[in-house]
Amino acid sequence: MTPAELDARLRAAWEAVLAARTARRRAKLLPAAMRAAERAKTLLEGSAPGLAPEAVRLAALVRAESLMTDPTVGDLWALVREAEALRAEGVPPHLVARSAIRVGACTGPLAPKRVQACAAKLRQGRLRFHASNL
């Protein structure tokens, strides 16, 4: 398997992980944003009647955003599953780790210590994945 093929497979998996993280983060922040919009609407209606339409628009925008947010987007375990599949195909772990560094799943330069740390991170992820699916 070429490095470009490894990068493509891990990049797709990493993008799924990032999409899942973003969706979860947005889902956690939306209740606070909705409360803030409602509070702003209440305050502006009482103190600045001229700004009340803007507050209503803000509250409607936050509500619309909450309806569009889907916390089931992406896959938090995609990278681990892909690393596991590559392991089953016989790809050496250091090559998978180097590819993970190139696509951004692990940080740092392609130095030997960083490659070892990334391989350990992927290994720990695999162990957590198996432990959670018992």
Q: pTM of the entire structure? A: 0.70
Is pLDDT at 11 greater than 60 in this prediction? yes
Tens digits of residue pLDDT in 62-115:
666 665 556 567 788 999 999 999 999 999 999 999 999 999 999 999 999 999
What integer pLDDT is reported at residue 120 of this predicted model? 95
Three-state secondary structure along 61-96?
Answer: HHHHHHHHCCCCCCCCCHHHHHHHHHHHCCCCHHHH
Q: Taking Cα atoms as reference points, which of 130, 44, 115 lies closest to residue 80?
A: 130
Contacts of residue 79, Cβ cutoff 8 Å, sequence gap at least 6: 10, 13, 14, 16, 17, 100, 105, 122, 125
Q: Is the pLDDT of residue 4 over 80?
A: yes
The stretch 9-29 carries a mean pLDDT of 87
Report pLDDT digits (tens) over 20-46: 888 888 777 777 777 777 777 777 667
The pLDDT of residue 124 is: 94
> What is the pLDDT, as a whole number, of residue 48?
63
pLDDT of residue 106: 94
